[in-house]
Chain A
Amino acid sequence: MVYADNAATTKMSRTAVAAMLPCMEETWGNASSLYGFGQKAKEALEAARAKVAACLGASPGGIYFTSGGSEADNQAIISAAHLGAKKGKKHIISTAFEHHAVLHTLKKLEQEGFEVELLDVHENGRVSAGEVSAAIRGDTALVTIMYANNEIGSVQPIAEIGAVCRERKVLFHTDAVQAAGHLPIDVQKQNIDMLSLSGHKFHGPKGVGVLYARTGIPLENLIEGGAQERGKRGGTENVPAIVGMAAALEEACAHMDENMAKVQALRDKLIGGLRRIPHSVLNGDEKHRLPGNVSFCFEGIEGESLLLLLDDKGICASSGSACTSGSLDPSHVLLAIGRPHEVAHGSLRLSLSEENTEAEVEEILRAVPEVVEYLRGISPLWKDKVIGKREFLLPESYR
Chain B
Amino acid sequence: MALYSEKVMDHFRNPRNVGSIENADGIGEVGNAKCGDIMKIYLKIDDDIVSDVKFETFGCGSAIASSSMATELIKGKPVSEALTLTNKAVTEALDGLPAHKLHCSVLAEEAIRAAVEDYHSRHSAGTGA
Q: Identify the A interface with B (CB < 8 A).
A: 300-305, 308-309, 312, 321-323, 326, 328, 330, 340-342, 345, 378-383, 390
Contact = CB atoms under 8 A, between A and B. Distances in A.
Contact of B18 (A321, A342, A378): A378
SS class, residues of chain B in contact with chain A: mixed
Given A378-B15, A380-B38, A300 B58 contact: yes
Contacts of A308: 9, 12, 61
Contacts of B19: 378
Contacts of B60: 302-305, 321, 323
Given A323-B61, A378-B19, 10 more contacts: A302-B58, A304-B60, A323-B62, A328-B35, A341-B34, A342-B33, A342-B36, A379-B56, A380-B29, A380-B39
A303 B63 CA distance: 12
Interface string B63-76: 11000000000000
Contacts of B63: 302, 305
Interface of B: 9, 12-13, 15, 18-20, 29, 33-40, 56-64, 100-101
Nearest first, the 3 A-B pairs at minimum CB distance are A304-B60, A323-B60, A345-B36
B64 A305 contact: yes
Nearest to B39: A380
26 contacts: A301-B58, A302-B36, A302-B58, A302-B59, A302-B60, A305-B12, A305-B64, A308-B12, A308-B61, A322-B35, A322-B36, A323-B59, A323-B61, A323-B101, A326-B100, A328-B35, A341-B34, A341-B35, A342-B36, A345-B33, A378-B56, A380-B57, A381-B33, A381-B38, A382-B58, A390-B33
A339 to B, nearest CB: 12
Nearest to A390: B33
Nearest to A300: B58
A230 B15 CA distance: 59
Given A304-B60, A323-B60, A312 B13 contact: yes
A312 B62 CA distance: 15
